[in-house]
Amino acid sequence: MPKTLLLAVLFLSSLAAAAQDAVTAIGKERANASGVEWDVKDVTHPKLGAIRFASRKVALTTPVGNEKIVSQAYVSCQKSVGRIAIELSNAAMSNLAGGLSPKEMPRLTCYSPNPRGGGLAMTELALKWEISELGDTLARGIAAADLRRCASIDVLQNLALPLGWPYASQQVAMEFLPFSRAIDEVLVACGAKPAYASAPPQAPAQASPARPVSPAATA
């Protein structure tokens, strides 16, 4: 490899490493400041195999007049193919089994450090959405690296509301934090480099020393 080309490759590699360091630092800062907690679970799907997924511990509620929309989000890794899926579900508080359908497809905006400096750059993630009978939206086939480049991801939904509600539609906004510990575990399951050092193994508990015997007992 010519020396000039090698230098160019090394320079670009150093830029990429610096950019990833900046994303990680900002992403961790935002994750630590967030008050939203997520659960992580491992399950086995009869067709898809081993799956690790993260979901909000407490669903998001959005008031609409006297009603409320209840929204949940799932970020999952299908380990057999190494790809991420994102699922969004919504329902009226008064009819949790019913579901609400999207009026428009969800929009996910990635925030990453601006390579030119001066804050964060915004790019929309290009995702293909499927809609279930209940109105849940699902995007799959996502590479973990596509989410890892984002310090945070804004999720904006525009939902169609039932007849009798104050409005015909309602926007629902939430946030994904790829550097939160829960979502990090999902991304790692699909091949991403861990953002956090793994906890060291616990040392085995030492046996308690034998109770000392008094001189009187041995006399």
Task: Supply the pLDDT for residue 197.
Answer: 82
Task: Supply the pLDDT for residue 54.
Answer: 98
Cα dihedral 200, 202, 204, 210 sign? positive
Task: Supply the pLDDT for residue 47.
Answer: 93
Task: Supply the pLDDT for residue 198.
Answer: 74
Q: Which residues contact 167 (CB under 8 A, 6 or more apart)?
A: 64, 65, 161
Task: Supply the pLDDT for residue 72.
Answer: 98
Q: Which residues contact 12 (CB under 8 A, 6 or more apart)?
A: none
Q: Considering just the CA atoms, what is the radius of gyration of the chain in Å?
A: 24
How big is the CA angle at 196 (ends 190 and 198), to the nearest 5 degrees?
A: 90
**Tens-digit pLDDT profile for residues 20-52:** 688 999 999 999 999 999 999 999 999 999 999
Distance CA 169, CA 69 (A): 11
| Parts of the chain with a pLDDT under 70 | 1-20, 199-219
Enter the pTM of the model: 0.81
Task: Supply the pLDDT for residue 208.
Answer: 39
Distance CA 4, CA 11 (A): 11
